[in-house]
Structure 1
Amino acid sequence: MSHSSFVFPRCRPETVGILPSSVSAFLKEADSRQIGLHCFMLLRYGQVVAEAQWAPYDSEIPRMLFSLSKSFVSTAVGFAVDEGLLAVDDLVLSILGERSTESDDRLRLLRVEHLLTMSTGQTNMAVRRCWNSRTREKGNWVQDFLDVPIEHEPGTHFAYNSCASYLLSAIVQEVTGLHLLDYLAPRLFEPLGIEGAKWESCPDGIHLGGSGLWLKTEHLARFGQLYLQKGRWNGKQLLSEGWIREATSLHISTGRKKRDYQGYGYHFWPCRHGAFRADGAQGQLCIVMPDQEAVIAVTAGVKEIQEVLDLIWEHLLPGMQDNPLPHDDAHFSELTSRMDSIAYAPLDSNRPVTSAAERVSGYRYDFSANELHLYAASIRFAGDTCEMTLWNPQGEHFVSCGIGYWASGSMELRDHSFAVAASGMWSAADIFEMEWRFIETPYTLKIKCTFTDDLVDVQVTEAIKSDIPIRLQGRRI
């Protein structure tokens, strides 16, 4: 079998000892509570038991993984350790070179393991300021991050730190002579049949490490299955069992009381019930359950990852039995129907199109200064489609919005063309509302346009981050 043709075999849940009613209950509650799942895959014994995608999301489209990228950086470090190019007790400055900083004394104690366990001694606030100040035009990130003051002795204090992951990326590049993607390709991605991976880079060409990786939902499941199989894949030991054990073990307390955030490994999170996970902002998840020989991959747009984990422990975990089960056709039929029909409904198609549509269609509205940096917008109605044009410093952008259905399109943002699914409706005689789902990301914009004479009041809300809208005032020209 060629690498690219690899697919997991599919089977009924009962075949591998899982109650179909438990999977159905998980999907039903996630859907009824609208917590924000997008794509879901459940494996046991290396077979896909259940998979679902909430339309308009598509599991075949690569996703922004955010901090789930960190577990792939850890894996790259593991390969380098296995190959004798690196050791976790190596001093960071012995690899990246001596640098003069105000925190030299503690910086000289900083080891690779401290980066892996987020115990660099830097504080959350200081690291966040440094990370947020990065721009694509500014170079020498390595120096900037090493200049962040180290206020605690390395190894003694946990602080979540994407800069640490970036430094690991720089270290892997230094000791291997390859970018992360190029180094991982023959060792991880190609053997697992993962194609199309991409990773965002800093201005110096170093992959971000702490974020920036794009993969499909099933790719996450393959990654989790490799870790479940202790580094073995298709009869070959790709990554040493020792590294898998070390990377996923508890190395430091986080000081938190939240149920599945109490400790940290080498860029992996130990969980309750003997499980561990890789995770990224707003619900990008790869959960490995060794005791049950199961893997769960999720891409989502949720406010709290813990809410997803709680549903897994409440519904899926109890449904995993030790032996195959008799076929339960009634519950399996219910599960199949639910997986086939699950979706986010477009905005209400039964709302009538009002006379305001003709009155505002085709006109441009110029905005006063606003935090979204939008200069102007126009809206044009034609049948069951609304075309919106936006102007900002990067140029002109178009979004096609289906009235009563999801219209598919794309939008150029930050040098990337993001896929967008959008729907809209007239919620009142002079109010048109839209929902834009950026389906490669967790993010959904809710937009409410109120038209009065030659004015428009626009309220833009990002569904995950805040319930408080950004308001724009526009005048027709």
Structure 2
Amino acid sequence: MSAPDLPHSAPAAQGVDALGVHAFLDALEAAPDIEPHSLMIMRHGRLVAAGWWAPYTAGRRHLLYSLSKSFTATAAALAEAEGLLDFDAQVASYFPEFEADITDPRSRAMLVRHVASMASGHRRDTVDEAFGRNVSEPVRQFLLLPPDADPGTVFAYNQPATYTLAAIVQRVTGQPLTAYLRPRLLDPLGIGEVAWLSDRTGRELGFSGLHATTDAIARFGQLYLRDGLWEGERLLPEGWAARAAHPRTPTAGLMGDVNRQDWDRGYGYQFWTSRHGYRGDGAFGQFCLVLPEHDVVIAATSATERMQEYLNLAWKHLLPAFGPEPLTGREAADAELRERLGRLALPPAPGRPEPFGRERDWAGAVFTSSDGAGPLRSAGLTRDADGWTLTLTGERDRPDRPDRLDLRIAGEGWTVAEEPVPAAVSGGWSDGGTLAGDVVFLETPHRLALTCSRAKGTLTAHWRTSPLHPGPLTALRAPRGSV
């Protein structure tokens, strides 16, 4: 059974100037280093703007990267409320099988609230050490890494800290995060099914890997904006939203970029304090912005390494659009915005659906990677009555585990395939000797650009944003079989 839609409203009725939203859309689409995928804006509990840039669509789940952390903290809050978890307990107490090995006094002093606030005492991200090739238990390895300072005194954006928090929740509840959250949070919110990547231990990662729709992000943000109340029902402990959003560890100047103003305001329980409100966010521009002072939630997905620029544009164009009173005489402007949001699309790569000159020069052609180190090993072209198929072979292709995608070349626009991974391709022949295109992996932020040279028989390919979870091309999708 599908969830009921969020309550809708015309922007003007909620004091939102459609021209400001237009200005934000203009700025996003003009920014060369930002590729927007979706946007939802809620004001006073009403959805006033929502759009997806084709080939991304409303019903498709999207990899949220570190926005996953905010859901993990929410699971920890629920476990605390049920008496299963204590934020002031020692982390090691939840893993008695490792206690004898943990001799460093700082490691033993590490509390749950320290890992929940990125204050384990380490001054670096220990992810490579905790998840090394020969590591069978990341929690044990993390706890064996002596902190550089007393826990609670320094900040480091440290993935194993959140992983350990997630491991505690899964241990004390006896369930994966998705299963634990489903009846307590996801179903009551109308989110329903989500998917979360698991590691070699079978645990859901916690620090990353959650796949959910933009609608799910918006509902999650609205729940926090309302201090855990949803349609009159309390889903989160009273006061938890303020606890989670309160900056517990200073972060100024610690993220390595003087231009990251919204990362310099402190860190709470898996939420960042922003110049305006607070937020959960994930790599490449996955955002849940909660703005209590404006009674606004902004949910967005995108592909960008310029996340501060994205926030700068939001503050510049959207904040002035949130007025104190309803606006009158704005029906035409609201209708124009609604029409624009309904036709958003990413520009497809250019190209013809048929080659220049003789088809037989291309039919059956095989192209091999020109550098031997890219994401693709080879590409091949075949022709049938319905047109051309481009077969991509990933660099992780094995006889017992094929890593291949078959994509139809259709010329203008995007052509979507659902298997073996949801992907969309655009492009075609740009001249007599070159076939070029883009492949968008629709359940992730990632786009692959490729070029095949007929004269050289070579293939070049590169990511516009490189996936952070290693794996084959066929793994660039939400895991199936989640709850």
Q: TM-score, normalised by structure 2?
A: 0.88
Q: Which amino acid aligns with 2:336?
A: E
Cα deviation digits, residues 50-101 of structure 1 (max 9, x gap): 0111111112101111111100110011111222222211100111224344
Is 2:205 the partner of 1:208?
yes
Q: How does 1:188-337 map to 2 (within 5 A)?
A: 188-256=185-253, 257=258, 258-262=260-264, 263-273=266-276, 275-337=277-339
Q: Which amino acid aligns with 2:318?
A: L
| Contact 1:120 1:150 survives alignment (8 Å) | yes
Cα deviation digits, residues 13-38 of structure 1 (max 9, x gap): 00000111111111121112251110
What's 2:121 paired with? Answer: 121
What's 2:107 paired with? Answer: 107
Cα deviation digits, residues 262-284 of structure 1 (max 9, x gap): 111100011112x1111111011
What's 2:473 paired with? Answer: none
- C-alpha separation in 1, matches of 2:411 and 2:364: 17
| Contact 2:426 2:438 survives alignment (8 Å) | yes
Is 2:462 the partner of 1:461?
yes
Single out whichever of 434-443 and 327-336 deviates more from structure 2.
Answer: 327-336
Q: Shift of residue 129 of structure 1?
A: 1.8
What's 1:169 paired with? Answer: 166
| Contact 1:349 1:403 survives alignment (8 Å) | yes
**Runs of 5+ unmatched residues, structure 2:** 468-483
Single out whichever of 24-33 and 439-448 deviates more from structure 2.
Answer: 24-33
Q: Which amino acid aligns with 1:105?
A: P
Single out whichever of 358-367 and 218-227 deviates more from structure 2.
Answer: 358-367
What's 1:89 paired with? Answer: 88
Return closer, same or farther for 1:131/1:377 CA change in 2, 3 Å cut-off.
farther
Q: Which amino acid aligns with 1:179?
A: P
- C-alpha separation in 2, matches of 1:459 and 1:64: 26
What's 2:452 paired with? Answer: 449
Q: Shift of residue 324 of structure 1?
A: 0.8
- Which secondary structure does the structure 2 equivalent of 1:241 belong to? coil
Which residue, out of 401, 405, 425, partners 1:397? Answer: 405
- C-alpha separation in 2, matches of 1:334 and 1:72: 35
What's 2:70 paired with? Answer: 71
Q: Which amino acid aligns with 1:457?
A: T
**Runs of 5+ unmatched residues, structure 1:** 412-416, 467-477
Cα deviation digits, residues 412-461 of structure 1 (max 9, x gap): xxxxx421100112222211111101111110011011121xx3222112
| Contact 2:378 2:459 survives alignment (8 Å) | no
| Contact 2:76 2:165 survives alignment (8 Å) | yes
| Contact 1:449 1:459 survives alignment (8 Å) | yes
Which residue, out of 351, 362, 365, partners 1:363? Answer: 365
- Which secondary structure does the structure 2 equivalent of 1:253 belong to? coil
Single out whichever of 141-150 and 438-447 deviates more from structure 2.
Answer: 141-150
Q: Shift of residue 380 of structure 1?
A: 2.5
Return closer, same or farther for 1:8/1:94 CA change in 2, 3 Å cut-off.
same
What's 1:33 paired with? Answer: 31
Q: Which amino acid aligns with 2:337?
A: L
| Contact 1:349 1:405 survives alignment (8 Å) | no
Identity of aligned residues (%): 35
- C-alpha separation in 1, matches of 2:267 and 2:336: 38
Matched residue count: 453
Q: Which amino acid aligns with 2:461?
A: V
- C-alpha separation in 1, matches of 2:243 and 2:281: 18
Q: Shift of residue 215 of structure 1?
A: 0.7
- C-alpha separation in 2, matches of 1:32 and 1:284: 19
- C-alpha separation in 2, matches of 1:85 and 1:201: 22
| Contact 1:376 1:390 survives alignment (8 Å) | yes
- Which secondary structure does the structure 2 equivalent of 1:338 belong to? helix
Q: Which amino acid aligns with 1:37?
A: P
Q: TM-score, normalised by structure 1?
A: 0.89
What's 2:435 paired with? Answer: 432
- What is the Cα-based RMSD across aligned positions, in Å? 2.2
